[in-house]
Amino acid sequence: MRQVAIGIDIGGTNTAIGVVDREGNVLYEKQPQLPTPQKRENPYAKIDKSDELCTNYIAALSDEVRVAIETVKNINPDLQVMGIGIGAPNANYYRGTIEFAANLPFVGVVQLADLLQAKLPEINIIKVTNDANAAALGELIYGGGIGMHNFVMITLGTGLGSGIIVNGDLVYGQDGFAGELGHVTIIPEGRACGCGGKGHLETYCSATGIKRSVFEMLAKNNNSESLLANIPFNDMTAKMVYDAAEKGDPIALEVFEYSGELLGRSLADTVHYLSPEAIFLFGGAAAAGDYIFKPTKESMERYLLPVYRNKVQILPSKLKEGSAAIVGASALVWKELDKISS
């Protein structure tokens, strides 16, 4: 009997739902994705768990899980669904909750795993974690982390997320929230962070951070020749910076050098904490390839204690950008089965 897991990724706009086998192949993915409930016009009028919007969302989610199961079983009746893994912002693995998520409309704490379990009593495993942790598990179970016991996953998107694997398992910490490397201080009193802090890693090295660096460099160098000098702040993307770098644009090249210098210094700190075998980079900014990997690697090596030098690989994630979210979430199920059987 072929075993499969259901992966769910709850994003700010949409919720992706898919069925994944033990090798990471996506057998089914709901299209179009299920809309995630949106904030109301008054952003303070959040959605209570007793609220119709929350109830309806959980009902729709469980309906879509049933559709997914039926669809794959119609193709292969021998499939056995082993459980559901869910990636979501501010998700808590220990409690199965989403807690105070700034980008979701729910009030306080949503008992996601319990609510879904009540709708789907036949499912044995329902586990929840944040999206970067899910990506790290995906890398461990299906990707470049197969066979590794200690590595760190860095997701470079709008923000900068991370998941830490130590001794073959995710580091959740005392409360299920460990691994927020986007919010370590990299430049004391530096750029304003969305969290209210200053100088955090994600304000420099996420896709948004790269954009901010372009405008800082333009301000510093007054370079009107740059291909990036004609694009408004709100239109600029990390992809545009990459395209400009490909054409030799000096601002774009300087921005990648600068981002790599800072990311490398921060990853040297990561190595001083954890001494991992590898650090995987995932997401849009990581797609810039050598423009970001080369200066990051050089910088990290420069800041490492001698005992760690030339031991830690910085690698692109092997997860596919399009399916990584549901594939990563589904990995929670296999990890849980490993724990039960060990």
Which residues bind to a copy of itself, rule: CB under 8 A? Answer: 90, 99-100, 149-150, 164, 166-167, 169, 171-181, 183-185, 187-188, 195-197, 265, 268-270, 272-277, 303, 305-308, 311-312
Kind of pairing between the strands at 80-87 and 126-129: parallel
Tokens of 132: 């970067």
At 318 the three-state DSSP class reads: coil
**Minimum distance between the CB of residue 66 and a copy of itself, rounded to whole angstroms?**
33
When the beta carbons of 79 and 193 are compared against a copy of itself, the nearer one is 193
Cα–Cα distance, 212 to 208 (Å, whole number): 6
Nearest distance from residue 262's CB to a copy of itself, in Å?
Answer: 9
CA distance 78 to 26: 17
- Smallest gap, in angstroms, from Cβ of residue 193 to a copy of itself? 9
User: How is 224-253 classified by DSSP, letter by letter?
Assistant: TTSGGGGS-GGG--HHHHHHHHHTT-HHHH
Q: How many CB atoms lie within 10 A of CB 123?
A: 18
Place of tokens 């209210």: 196
Residue of 66, 77, 80, 76 lying closest to 5 (CA atoms): 80
Which residues are CB-neighbours of 340 under 8 A, at least 6 positions away?
A: none
Residue closer to a copy of itself (CB basis): 77 or 188: 188
Nearer to a copy of itself by Cβ, of 218 and 274: the residue is: 274
* Residue closest to 213 by CA, chosen among 162, 266, 151, 263: 263
User: Which CB sits closer to a copy of itself, 270 or 323?
Assistant: 270
66 vs 273 by CB, closer to a copy of itself: 273
Q: How far is the CB of 157 from a copy of itself (least distance, A)?
A: 18
Distance from C-alpha of 159 to C-alpha of 219, rounded to nearest angstrom: 23
Q: How far is the CB of 111 from a copy of itself (least distance, A)?
A: 17
Structure tokens at 271: 């190595």
Q: Which two tokens stand for residue 329?
A: 């979430």
CB atoms within 10 A of CB 203: 26
CB of 181 to a copy of itself, least distance (A): 6
**Residue with Cβ nearer a copy of itself (17 or 271):** 271
Query: Per the structure block, which two tokens stand in for 178?
Result: 């460990």
Q: How far is the CB of 265 from a copy of itself (least distance, A)?
A: 6
Radius of gyration of the chain (CA): 21
Min dist. Cβ of residue 88 to a copy of itself (A): 14
Nearer to a copy of itself, 90 or 117 (CB): 90
**Residue closer to a copy of itself (CB basis): 114 or 175:** 175
